[in-house]
C-alpha cells in the first residue's frame, strides 16, 4: 500500500474524472438491478399472488406497458452511466499512462553515464512498455472493477435481503466458497501467466540479440546452434502456455457448475417458501431474487482476477519508482553551480586528478595544463586511462580526488549546459542514429532553449507539443563534412546527405562512421574538441586530409586528439603519454623522440614496420608506405 501512496500525485491530476467515473459505476450498477423489479411486478400482477409491494394489485395492459418502458428506461440509464464511466476512468488511465511515460523519459534523460553503464537497455525498454501497461491496467480496469465488485455486492445483497433473508443466508454461505475457489484458480493463472511472460521476454531478448549480432553469427557459422537454442526456448514457451490453458480452461466450466449447484439449492428452498401456507414470498419475488443473484456472477469471477491485476500493477509501479528514485551523480548543484557562467574560452587544467573504480585506480594524480587554442595529442597503451581522462572533462563522471578546471573554474561550478555546449567529443565508438546523414551530422545543432520539460502536470490543458524541429542548416552540415573528409563519400551515396542510415548506421564503413562522428562534433564549432581514437579506421591519406581540416578550424580552439599512431600525433603542439593512469611523458614530437621513452619506442616500431613493408616492393613513395602501416601490428600489440 505504501507503494500505492506514491502513485497518488498522478491520480490527483485526474481526481475529477476518477471520482465521477466511480460514482457512475455505482449508479449503473443500481439501475441494472431495476429490470428484475419490473419483471417481479409483472409476474405477481399476472398470478395474483399477494406481494408485499402494494404496486402489484392486478395488472392491466396499460401498467404492463409502463413496466416494459421501465425495463427499457433502466437498461438505458444503466448503459448511459456505464458509458460515462468508460469515458472518465478509461481515458483518465490512458492520460495517467501518458504522463508517467513522459516524466519517466524526461527523468531518464537526466541520468548520467554511470547509471547507463549499469542499466540494461532491454530492461529499461520493458519498464517503459510492459510495466507501464500493467500500471495503466490497474488504474483503469482495476479501479473500475474494484468499485464494480464492491458496489455490485452491496446493492445486490441489499435487494436480496429485502426479498428473503432465508435465501440470502444460503447465498451468503455459498458465495465465499465460489469466490475462494475462483481466487485460487485466478492466482494459479497469474503465476502461470507470469512464467509464460518471463519466457516471452527471454525469447524476445534472444531474437533481438541474434538479429543485432547477425554478422557475428554468420561469421562463425553457428546458425544451427542458434536455431537449436531458439527451438529449446520456444518449446519451453509452448509448455508454459499449455500449463496456463490447463487452468484457464476449466475456470468458466467450474464456475457454471458451482452456480448451477447454488441455483438448485435456492430453487428447492425458494419453492418451499412460496408454497408455504400464509406465504408472503411470491413467484415474482423469487424471479427477482434469482435475477439479482445472476448479476453477481461476473463480479465473483472478477474478484480473483482483480487481485492479480492489482498485484501486477503495484509490482510494476515499484519498478518504475526505482527509475524515478535514481538520481544522477553528476548534476548542477544549487549553491555550487554558478548559473551566470555562460561562455568558455577553452583553457583546460587537470589538477592532481585521480579516479578510482572500486579498488582499481584508473587515473593517478594527473597534472596537465592545456592553454586555450592548444592542439594536444594524447597517447599511451590501451587501458591507460585516455578515454576516462576525456570523460572527466565533459563530466561524464567526477574525479575521486583532485580538480578538473576549465578557464580556471572547477567544472563542478560551471553549469553542465555551458560546459557541454562548449565541448564536442568524438567518442571512441561513435553511435549513429537511424536517420539521414545530414541529421546525424547536425544532431547537436538545434539545441534550442526549450522551456524545461514539465513533469507532474496533467496532459489536460498542457501546451501543445513544440513544432517539429527544423532541418539543420545544410551549408553548415556540408562544410563540416568537408572538414571531416566525408564529402566524396557522401556524394557517392544515392541521395547524398539525405541518405538514410540503417539501424545503428550499419551501411557505413568503419571509417565513414568515424568521419560522420567527426563532422557531427565540429559542426557545432565547439571551444574544445576531443577526438578519441577517431582516426584509427581511416587510411593515411584520409587522415592527412582530416588533420588539415582540423587545423583549419582549430585556430583559437583547444583540440585534444587521442591516438595510437605517431603519424597522427606528430604535428600536435604538445603530446602527452599516459601510462597506467599517470602522465609519464610530455612535450613536442621532437622533444619526446629525444627523451627515448614510450613515444620514441612507438615511433621506432611504427617506422620499422613500414620500412619492413617497404623492403618488399621498392620503389615506394612515403604516402604508400604510410598506408601499409594500416596493416602493421597496432601499437598496443607492439607495446605489449
Ligand X SMILES: Nc1ncnc2c1ncn2[C@@H]1O[C@H](COP(=O)(O)OP(=O)(O)OP(=O)(O)O)[C@@H](O)[C@H]1O
Residues in contact with ligand X by CB under 6 A are 117, 357, 362, 380, 382-388, 428, 533
Nearer to ligand X, 137 or 532 (CB): 532
- Residue 57: closest CA among 74, 38, 41, 35: 41
Shortest separation between residue 639's beta carbon and Mg ion, angstroms = 15
Shortest separation between residue 392's beta carbon and Mg ion, angstroms: 13
Judged by CB, which is closer to ligand X: 116, or 211? 116
Q: Does 316 bind Mg ion (CB under 5 A)?
A: no
Query: Site residues for Mg ion, window 389-428 (CB under 5 A)?
Result: 428
377 in Cβ contact with 561 (< 8 Å): yes
Binding partner of residue 383 among ligand X, Mg ion, none, CB under 5 to 8 Å per kind?
ligand X
Cβ proximity to Mg ion: between 142 and 511 the closer is: 511
Q: Which does 167 bind (CB under 5 to 8 A by kind): ligand X, Mg ion, none?
A: none
Tell me the window of 160-168, 379-387, 401-409, 538-546 that interacts with Mg ion (CB under 5 A): 379-387
What residues from 419 to 478 belong to the interface with Mg ion (CB under 5 A)? 428
Query: CB–CB of 443/84 below 8 Å?
Result: no
CA 598 to chain centre: 45
What's the min distance (Å) between Cβ of 519 and ligand X? Answer: 22
Range in contact with Mg ion (rule: CB under 5 A) among 210-218, 387-395, 453-461, 470-478: 387-395
Report the partner that residue 384 touches, choosing among ligand X, Mg ion, none (CB closer than 5 to 8 A by kind). ligand X
Q: In a 3-state reduction of DSSP, which class is residue 500?
A: strand
**Which residues fall within 8 angstroms of residue 356, CB to CB, at 6 or more apart?**
362, 400
With CB under 5 to 8 Å by kind, the binding choice for 152 among ligand X, Mg ion, none is: none
- Tell me the sheet residues that pair with 558: 528
Least distance from C-beta 124 to ligand X, angstroms?
18
| Closest approach of ligand X to the CB of residue 117, in Å | 5
Residue in the shown chain whose Cβ atom is closest to Mg ion: 387
- Nearer to ligand X by Cβ, of 73 and 114: the residue is 114
320/390 with CB nearer Mg ion = 390
Q: Does 387 bind Mg ion (CB under 5 A)?
A: yes
Give SS3 for 183: helix
Query: What is the spatial distance between Cα 438 and Cα 626, in angstroms, rounded to a whole number?
Result: 31
CA dist 334 → 52, 132, 393 (Å) = 75, 32, 20
Q: Which does 241 bind (CB under 5 to 8 A by kind): Mg ion, ligand X, none?
A: none
Counted residue by residue, the chain has a size of 640
CB of 516 to ligand X, least distance (A): 20
Q: How far is the C-alpha of 440 from the C-alpha of 435, rounded, in Å? A: 6
Element holding 436 (H helix, E strand): none
Distances (CA, A) of 553 to 179, 252, 559, 572: 76, 75, 10, 14
End-to-end CA distance of the chain: 58
Q: Provide the minimum distance between the beta carbon of 332 and ligand X in the complex, in angstroms, as a whole number.
A: 22
The least distance separating ligand X from the CB of residue 378, rounded to whole angstroms, comes to: 9
Nearest to 415 by CA among 327, 343, 348, 522: 343
DSSP 8-state class, residue 327: -
Return d(Cα 262, Cα 172) in angstroms, integer. Answer: 11
Nearer to ligand X, 270 or 380 (CB): 380
Please give the full DSSP string across 111-124, using - where no structure is assigned: --HHHHHHS-HHHH
Q: Would you say 380 or 442 has its CB closer to ligand X?
A: 380
Which of residues 45 and 385 has its CB atom nearest to ligand X in the complex?
Answer: 385
Binding site for Mg ion (CB under 5 A): 387, 428
Amino acid at each position: 500500500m505504501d507503494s500505492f501512496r506514491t502513485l497518488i500525485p498522478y491520480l490527483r491530476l485526474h481526481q475529477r474524472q476518477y471520482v465521477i467515473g466511480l460514482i457512475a459505476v455505482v449508479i449503473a450498477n443500481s439501475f441494472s438491478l431495476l429490470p428484475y423489479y419490473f419483471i417481479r411486478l409483472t409476474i405477481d400482477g399476472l398470478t395474483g399472488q399477494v406481494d408485499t409491494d402494494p404496486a402489484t394489485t392486478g395488472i392491466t395492459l396499460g401498467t404492463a406497458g409502463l413496466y416494459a418502458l421501465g425495463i427499457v428506461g433502466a437498461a438505458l440509464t444503466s448503459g448511459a452511466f456505464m458509458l460515462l464511466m468508460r469515458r472518465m476512468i478509461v481515458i483518465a488511465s490512458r492520460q495517467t499512462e501518458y504522463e508517467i511515460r513522459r516524466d519517466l523519459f524526461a527523468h531518464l534523460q537526466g541520468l548520467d553515464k554511470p547509471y547507463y553503464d549499469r542499466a540494461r537497455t532491454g530492461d529499461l525498454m520493458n519498464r517503459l512498455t510492459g510495466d507501464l501497461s500493467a500500471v495503466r491496467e490497474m488504474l483503469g480496469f482495476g479501479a473500475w472493477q474494484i468499485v464494480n465488485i464492491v458496489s455490485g455486492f452491496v446493492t445486490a445483497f441489499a435487494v436480496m435481503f429485502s426479498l428473503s433473508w432465508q435465501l440470502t443466508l444460503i447465498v451468503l454461505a455459498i458465495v465465499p466458497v465460489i469466490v475462494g475457489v475462483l481466487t485460487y484458480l485466478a492466482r494459479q493463472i497469474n503465476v502461470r501467466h507470469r512464467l509464460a511472460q518471463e519466457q516471452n521476454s527471454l525469447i524476445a531478448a534472444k531474437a533481438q540479440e541474434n538479429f543485432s549480432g547477425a554478422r557475428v553469427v554468420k561469421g562463425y557459422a553457428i546458425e544451427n546452434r542458434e536455431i537449436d537454442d531458439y527451438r529449446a526456448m520456444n518449446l519451453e514457451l509452448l509448455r508454459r502456455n499449455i500449463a496456463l490453458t490447463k487452468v484457464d480452461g476449466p475456470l468458466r466450466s467450474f464456475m457454471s457448475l458451482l452456480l448451477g449447484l447454488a441455483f438448485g439449492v435456492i430453487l428447492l428452498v425458494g419453492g418451499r417458501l412460496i408454497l408455504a401456507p400464509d406465504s408472503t414470498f411470491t413467484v415474482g419475488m423469487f424471479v427477482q431474487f434469482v435475477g439479482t443473484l445472476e448479476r453477481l456472477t461476473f463480479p465473483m469471477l472478477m474478484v480473483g482476477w482483480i487481485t492479480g491485476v492489482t498485484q501486477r500493477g503495484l509490482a510494476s509501479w515499484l519498478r518504475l519508482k526505482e527509475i524515478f528514485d535514481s538520481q544522477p551523480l553528476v548534476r548542477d548543484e544549487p549553491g555550487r553551480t554558478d548559473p551566470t557562467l555562460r561562455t568558455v574560452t577553452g583553457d583546460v587544467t587537470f589538477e592532481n586528478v585521480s579516479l578510482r573504480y572500486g579498488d582499481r585506480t584508473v587515473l593517478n594524480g594527473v597534472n596537465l595544463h592545456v592553454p586555450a587554442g592548444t592542439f594536444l595529442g594524447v597517447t599511451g597503451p590501451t587501458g591507460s586511462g585516455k578515454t576516462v581522462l576525456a570523460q572527466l572533462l565533459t563530466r561524464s563522471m567526477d574525479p575521486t580526488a583532485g580538480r578538473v578546471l576549465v578557464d580556471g573554474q572547477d567544472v563542478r561550478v560551471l553549469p553542465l549546459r555551458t560546459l557541454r555546449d562548449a565541448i564536442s567529443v568524438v567518442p571512441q565508438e561513435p553511435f549513429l542514429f537511424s536517420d539521414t546523414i545530414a541529421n546525424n551530422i547536425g544532431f547537436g545543432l538545434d539545441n534550442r532553449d526549450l522551456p524545461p520539460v514539465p513533469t507532474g502536470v496533467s496532459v489536460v490543458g498542457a501546451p501543445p507539443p513544440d513544432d517539429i524541429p527544423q532541418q539543420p542548416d545544410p551549408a553548415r552540415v556540408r562544410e563540416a563534412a568537408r572538414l571531416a573528409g566525408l564529402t566524396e563519400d557522401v556524394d557517392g551515396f544515392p541521395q547524398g546527405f539525405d541518405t538514410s542510415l540503417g539501424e545503428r548506421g550499419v551501411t557505413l564503413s568503419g571509417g565513414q562512421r568515424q568521419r560522420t562522428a567527426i563532422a557531427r562534433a565540429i559542426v557545432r564549432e565547439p571551444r574544445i574538441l576531443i577526438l578519441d581514437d577517431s582516426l584509427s579506421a581511416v587510411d593515411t591519406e584520409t587522415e592527412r586530409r582530416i588533420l588539415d581540416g582540423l587545423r583549419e578550424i582549430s585556430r583559437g580552439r583547444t583540440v585534444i586528439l587521442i591516438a595510437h599512431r605517431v603519424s597522427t600525433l606528430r604535428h600536435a603542439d604538445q603530446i602527452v603519454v599516459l601510462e597506467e593512469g599517470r602522465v609519464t611523458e610530455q612535450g613536442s614530437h621532437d622533444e619526446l623522440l629525444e627523451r627515448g621513452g614510450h613515444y620514441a619506442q612507438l615511433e621506432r616500431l611504427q617506422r620499422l614496420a613500414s620500412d619492413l613493408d617497404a623492403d618488399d616492393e621498392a620503389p615506394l613513395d612515403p604516402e604508400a608506405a604510410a598506408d601499409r602501416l594500416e596493416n602493421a601490428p597496432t601499437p598496443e600489440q607492439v607495446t605489449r
